């Protein structure tokens, strides 16, 4: 991860929030890592903002900690608000590093909503790399997901087959289906993804 990318991840304070919640609940790193299905080393790297976790891993950590996924992207609560506007320059971007064994998938994602507390859905703008050799790591978790492809081609792999999504195509699926996504083709794909974790 380059210095600019590391600074962006640190700016979101995702790792700091993970550690703060974990310690406030009196949970050990080994227990949280085991519940999330990751190693204690990877959890430590996330907590120290060395690596940016993919959305699926972050969702598993949220479940292990007993908090909504939204917790990691929220600014201080704005009580009483029933809506939020996120301007183009305010989006929270997380860039994923290429070629790390513990973080093999190369893409970036922008959190498109993070002010409103107690929301049920997490929308993201995802940009996939196409020039990296990736080891696709399939994941599964509770909830549902929706993907709408804006540009390029996205390959969806699951235990039920492989589907190629092109601009204008959408996919809605049960997240308990073991799945993986990657960009293919000659244009960097962009897609809108909405994750519903099934819990508040």
Range with top average pLDDT, 3-17, 60-74, 171-185: 171-185
Confidence of residue 101 (pLDDT cuts 50, 70, 90): very low
State what percent of residues in the chain have pLDDT above 90. Answer: 40
Q: How much is the mean pLDDT over the chain?
A: 81
Higher-confidence residue: 192 or 12?
192
Q: Based on the structure, what is the number of domains in the chain?
A: 1
Greater pLDDT, 199 or 37: 37
Residue 158: which residues within 8 A CB-CB, separation 6 or more? 138, 173, 177, 178, 179, 180
Q: Where are the beta strands (DSSP E) in the chain?
A: 92-95, 107-111, 121-128, 144-151, 153-158, 161-165, 170-174, 179-184, 190-196
Which domain does 179 fall in, by range? 3-196
CATH of the domain at 157: 2.60.120.10
- Confidence at 12, pLDDT banded by 50, 70, 90: low
In this prediction, residues 186-193 reach a mean pLDDT of 94
pLDDT at position 14: 86
Give tens-digit pLDDT for 123-182: 999 999 886 665 667 888 888 999 999 999 999 999 999 999 999 999 999 999 999 898
pTM for the whole structure: 0.64
């Amino acid at each position: 991860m380059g210095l600019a990318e590391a600074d962006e991840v640190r700016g979101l304070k995702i790792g700091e929030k993970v550690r703060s919640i974990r310690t406030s609940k009196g949970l050990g790193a080994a227990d949280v890592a085991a519940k999330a299905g990751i190693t204690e080393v990877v959890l430590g790297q996330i907590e120290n903002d060395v690596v940016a976790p993919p959305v699926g891993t972050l969702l598993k950590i949220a479940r292990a900690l007993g908090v909504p996924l939204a917790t990691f992207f929220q600014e201080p609560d704005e009580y009483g608000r029933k809506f939020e506007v996120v301007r183009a320059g305010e989006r929270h971007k997380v860039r994923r590093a290429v070629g790390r064994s513990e973080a093999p998938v190369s893409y970036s994602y922008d959190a498109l909503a993070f002010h409103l507390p107690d929301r049920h859905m997490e929308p993201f703008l995802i940009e996939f790399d196409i020039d990296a050799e990736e080891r696709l790591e399939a994941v599964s978790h509770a909830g549902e997901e929706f993907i709408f492809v804006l540009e390029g081609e996205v390959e969806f792999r699951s235990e039920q087959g492989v589907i190629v999504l092109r601009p204008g195509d959408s996919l809605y699926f049960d997240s308990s289906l073991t799945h993986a996504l990657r960009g293919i083709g000659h244009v960097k794909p962009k897609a809108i993804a909405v994750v519903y974790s099934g819990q508040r």
